[in-house]
């Protein structure tokens, strides 16, 4: 049964289209999602959908913008309430895992987009997201090193890459297992091992 109202203001319709795309991506290969399927999910005709998004790439672009805004907002909020750089890193790690658990279609869309050849606008949005995320991580890692929480010889760039890679590994394994909730179970242990690798040893 369609859960989307048929008559919505333009901005709400665009947001609903993004939500429909993310939901569909959680259930099937994102590359196989057509504008027809998105319109059907929303109880619309393709013509009605095209009034808001002229192409599937335009929808993907909006989805990537939504992901970047929501994910960065989520991890920023988590880090701001933390008492120290290490506590902020832990909060960011778990907030990121929670975001993916709530929106399992997101990693499918991201991985799918990054595999596409060429320099597409959606792919550029993903690259910008990773860049901004990395900046936040490097800032916290440098603060942790300066405050003695982390190893004084820590390679901050490598540590930021490993942080993101650890989350990607958890996501990939949960997708392969078909059990998204598994990420929440495994994440604390994975972060603990990560922290032992970069910690000061105190």
> Tens digit of pLDDT for each residue in 2-52?
455 555 567 888 898 999 999 999 988 888 899 999 999 988 888 888 888
Q: What pLDDT, on the 0 to 100 scale, is given for residue 72?
A: 96
Both 150 and 192 in a single domain? yes
Determine the Cα–Cα distance for residues 186 and 131; give it in Å rounded to an integer. 26
Whether residue 117 has pLDDT greater than 80? no
> Tens digit of pLDDT for each residue in 145-170?
999 999 999 999 999 999 999 999 99
Q: What pLDDT, on the 0 to 100 scale, is given for residue 29?
A: 87
State the chain's mean pLDDT as an integer: 89
Q: What pLDDT, on the 0 to 100 scale, is given for residue 3?
A: 55
What are the angstrom distances between the C-alpha of 37 and each of 12, 26, 33, 82? 19, 14, 6, 42
Both 28 and 84 in a single domain? no
Whether residue 90 has pLDDT greater than 90? yes
At 1, the pLDDT band (50, 70, 90 cuts) reads very low
Both 21 and 71 in a single domain? no
DSSP 168-192: HHHHHHHHHHT-TTHHHHHHHHHHH
Both 44 and 85 in a single domain? no
Determine the Cα–Cα distance for residues 47 and 150; give it in Å rounded to an integer. 56
Question: Which range marks the domain in which residue 76 is found?
Answer: 57-198
Both 2 and 99 in a single domain? no
Q: What pLDDT, on the 0 to 100 scale, is given for residue 23?
A: 93
At 202, the pLDDT band (50, 70, 90 cuts) reads low
Per DSSP, helices labelled H in 81-201 are 85-102, 105-114, 121-146, 156-177, 182-198
Both 47 and 116 in a single domain? no
What does the H/E/C string look like for 18-30? HHHHHHHHCCCCH
Both 71 and 139 in a single domain? yes
Domain count, the chain: 2
Q: State the CATH number of the domain containing residue 65.
A: 1.10.357.10
Per the document, the length of the chain is 202
Determine the Cα–Cα distance for residues 191 and 94; give it in Å rounded to an integer. 9
Q: What pLDDT, on the 0 to 100 scale, is given for residue 5?
A: 53
Evaluate if pTM is beyond 0.85: yes
Closest CA to 123 of 142, 135, 110: 110
């Amino acid at each position: 049964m369609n859960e989307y109202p048929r008559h919505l203001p333009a901005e709400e319709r665009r947001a609903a289209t993004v939500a429909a795309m993310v939901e569909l991506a959680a259930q099937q290969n994102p590359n196989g999602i057509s504008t027809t399927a998105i319109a059907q999910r929303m109880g619309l005709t393709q013509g009605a959908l095209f009034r808001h998004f002229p192409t599937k790439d335009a929808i993907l672009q909006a989805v990537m913008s939504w992901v970047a805004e929501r994910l960065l907002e989520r991890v920023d909020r988590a880090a701001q309430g933390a008492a120290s750089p290490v506590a902020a890193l832990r909060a960011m790690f778990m907030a990121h895992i929670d975001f993916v658990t709530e929106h399992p279609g997101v990693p499918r869309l991201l991985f799918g987009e990054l595999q596409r050849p060429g320099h597409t606008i959606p792919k550029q949005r993903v690259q910008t997201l990773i860049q901004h995320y990395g900046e936040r991580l490097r800032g916290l890692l440098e603060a942790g090193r300066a405050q003695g929480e982390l190893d004084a010889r820590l390679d901050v760039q490598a540590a930021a890459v490993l942080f993101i890679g650890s989350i990607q590994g958890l996501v990939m394994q949960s997708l392969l297992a078909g059990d998204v909730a598994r990420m929440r179970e495994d994440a604390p242990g994975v972060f603990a091992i990560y922290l032992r690798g970069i910690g000061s040893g105190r």
